[in-house]
């Protein structure tokens, strides 16, 4: 018999000889109770003595129910569920927060392990403007939320399942814009999530045909600068994130598809897998999402600041293209593709053009390629990335200003021509109205000028000529009478 973990929001059928458990922490707790071995963790946790249970005076029973109102589910993971909650006191709304609820098992070892994230969050200061902020943590015993299925022969599993389990509650900043992964996939590139109504799906398909997909250089640079600032703040505290990916980049505001210059502020969250620099950890376990794992980690190297840079580069690739450079969903195949991945700016430009995306500054492709270099030492540091992003932004701004200046110059030239032409017509009219020419012969002059300016897309000149034309016709008609 084996135990297999699945997220509780998925419908799955157990395989032969398997029990499906819908909670990773609870699953690992059951493994401990059965005497199963666990993977390696940090040295301090490994050396701590085990206790059979967490002391009762550690718990604050009823605190969540008394002071919080659950609004909805923000997200679910293998070890926790994140809720949107309102902090209430005497029926007064004290603010909206994100509440991470983790089943830790009745084991001090797991309590120490989960407190690691809280300790890291506590190191973040108010100056860490691009990192999720931490507010409070407490423990409560809650009803078990895991679901255990029977064995493959239909008989119940012989497991002593308690009715309540210790849960850790971590109260932190709520980001109303959701996460970068969902926004890029479902709002920027209009992919179908399966949660849309029929009308919403139809609207998405219609918009996909009308609008050009992708973000502008301004928006991509905005995302990159926010993540870069967050990583610099994190690394300055000697913390390696280890699980940097779009779903862990949270937006403080809602994304506006009509605004092509701005993008909501992005902050980095989820420090459950983070570690202090120099702390030895198992680099090839289940930590992180494989698609964002640097190549050296697949061969046993330790996590480093440079491995965070690689993940950052893969995020930018995803933001630019709306997809990752891997063709398979099989983990073993993806691992091979990671080690074989070879990108160059020219191939990225060709792919970008073939997808008919919103044009972006080509220097972005060069930067991403450098960040995804297989040799960690050749990846740029965060200070260099910041400088490159500023240079790209300055280049785009200068280019747009030059275009606007040129257009204004052309418009002035066109208006000047229209005014000169109108003056010439006025003089010509004065002469012709005292001759034997008929009015319809010289109105052709005005129509010619009008057509000329129309072709040059100069509305101001067209209006001037139109006024002169109408006035000329009236003057000609009066002179004939």
Angle at 219 between CA 213 and CA 224, to 5 degrees: 120
Cβ neighbors of 289 (< 8 A, separation 6 or more) are: 243, 245
Alpha helix segments (H runs only) across 89-141:
108-123
Catalytic pick among 107, 243, 270, 308: 243
Kindly provide the residue ranges of all beta strands, DSSP E only, lying in 270-322, ordered along the sequence. 275-276
Query: Tell me, what's the pLDDT at 293?
Result: 93
Contact 139, 168 (CB under 8 A): yes
How far apart, in whole angstroms, are the C-alpha atoms of residue 263 and residue 435?
Answer: 66
| Half-sphere exposure at residue 372, Cβ-oriented, CA atoms within 13 angstroms | 25
Contact 265, 251 (CB under 8 A): yes
Query: Tell me, what's the pLDDT at 416?
Result: 57
From the list 4, 7, 30, 19, the residue with the least C-alpha distance to 149 is 19
How far apart, in whole angstroms, are the C-alpha atoms of residue 204 and residue 459?
Answer: 36
Query: Tell me, what's the pLDDT at 415?
Result: 52
Q: Is 243 a catalytic residue?
A: yes
Query: Tell me, what's the pLDDT at 6?
Result: 38
Query: Tell me, what's the pLDDT at 258?
Result: 87
Query: Tell me, what's the pLDDT at 5?
Result: 36
Query: Tell me, what's the pLDDT at 14?
Result: 43
Cβ neighbors of 158 (< 8 A, separation 6 or more) are: none
Query: Tell me, what's the pLDDT at 313?
Result: 96
Averaged over successive runs of 10 residues, the pLDDT of the chain (481 residues) comes to 37 42 39 37 44 75 91 79 90 89 77 76 74 87 61 52 80 91 91 73 68 91 96 91 93 92 92 78 55 91 93 97 89 90 93 93 95 95 95 85 62 56 62 56 57 52 61 62 56
- Three-state secondary structure call for residue 244: coil
Number of H helices, E strands in the chain: 14, 11
Q: What global pTM score does this model have?
A: 0.70
Question: What torsion, rounded to 10 degrees, do the Cα atoms 299, 303, 309, 311 define?
Answer: 70
Query: Tell me, what's the pLDDT at 119?
Result: 76
Query: Tell me, what's the pLDDT at 441?
Result: 53
Query: Tell me, what's the pLDDT at 410?
Result: 55
How far apart, in whole angstroms, are the C-alpha atoms of residue 239 and residue 247?
Answer: 19
């Amino acid at each position: 018999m084996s135990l297999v973990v699945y997220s509780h929001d998925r419908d799955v059928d157990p395989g032969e000889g398997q029990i499906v458990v819908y909670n990773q922490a609870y699953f690992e707790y059951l493994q401990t109770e059965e005497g199963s071995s666990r993977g390696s963790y940090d040295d301090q946790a490994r050396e701590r003595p085990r206790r059979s249970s967490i002391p009762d005076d550690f718990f604050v029973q009823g605190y969540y129910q008394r002071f919080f109102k659950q609004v909805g589910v923000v997200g679910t993971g293998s070890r926790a569920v994140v809720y949107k909650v309102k902090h209430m006191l005497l029926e007064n709304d004290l603010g909206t927060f994100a509440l991470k609820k983790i089943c830790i098992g009745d084991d001090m070892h797991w309590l120490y392990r989960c407190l690691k994230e809280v300790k890291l969050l506590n190191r973040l200061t108010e100056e860490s403007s691009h990192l999720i902020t931490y507010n409070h943590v407490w423990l409560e015993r809650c009803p078990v939320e895991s679901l255990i299925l029977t064995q493959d022969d239909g008989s119940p599993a012989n497991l002593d399942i308690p009715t309540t389990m210790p849960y850790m509650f971590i109260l932190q900043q709520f980001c109303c814009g959701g996460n970068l992964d969902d926004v890029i996939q479902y709002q920027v590139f209009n992919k179908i999530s399966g949660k849309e109504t029929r009308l919403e799906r139809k609207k998405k398909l219609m918009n996909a045909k009308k609008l050009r997909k992708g973000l502008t250089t301004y928006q991509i640079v905005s995302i990159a600068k926010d993540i870069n600032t967050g990583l610099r703040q994190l690394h300055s505290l000697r913390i390696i994130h280890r699980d940097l990916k779009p779903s862990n980049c949270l937006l403080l505001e809602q994304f506006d598809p009509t605004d092509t210059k701005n993008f909501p502020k992005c902050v980095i969250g989820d420090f459950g897998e983070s570690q202090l620099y120099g702390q030895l950890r198992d680099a090839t376990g289940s930590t992180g999402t494989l698609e964002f794992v640097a190549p050296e980690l697949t061969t046993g190297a330790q996590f480093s600041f440079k491995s965070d840079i690689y993940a950052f580069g893969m995020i930018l690739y995803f933001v630019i293209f709306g997809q990752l450079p891997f063709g398979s969903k099989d983990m073993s195949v993806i691992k091979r593709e990671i080690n074989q991945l070879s990108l160059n700016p020219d191939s990225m430009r060709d792919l970008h053009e073939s997808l008919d995306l919103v044009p972006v500054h080509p220097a972005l492709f060069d930067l991403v390629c450098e960040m995804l270099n297989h040799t960690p030492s050749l990846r740029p540091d965060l200070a260099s990335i910041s400088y490159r992003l500023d240079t790209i932004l300055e280049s785009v701004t200068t280019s747009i200003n030059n275009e606007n200046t040129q257009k204004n110059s052309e418009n002035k030239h066109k208006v000047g021509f229209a005014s000169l032409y109108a003056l010439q017509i006025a003089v010509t009219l004065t002469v012709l109205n005292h001759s034997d020419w008929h009015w319809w012969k010289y109105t052709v002059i005005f129509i010619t000028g009008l057509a000329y300016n129309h072709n040059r897309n100069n509305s101001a000149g067209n209006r001037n000529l139109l006024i002169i034309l109408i006035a000329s016709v009236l003057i000609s008609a009066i002179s004939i009478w």
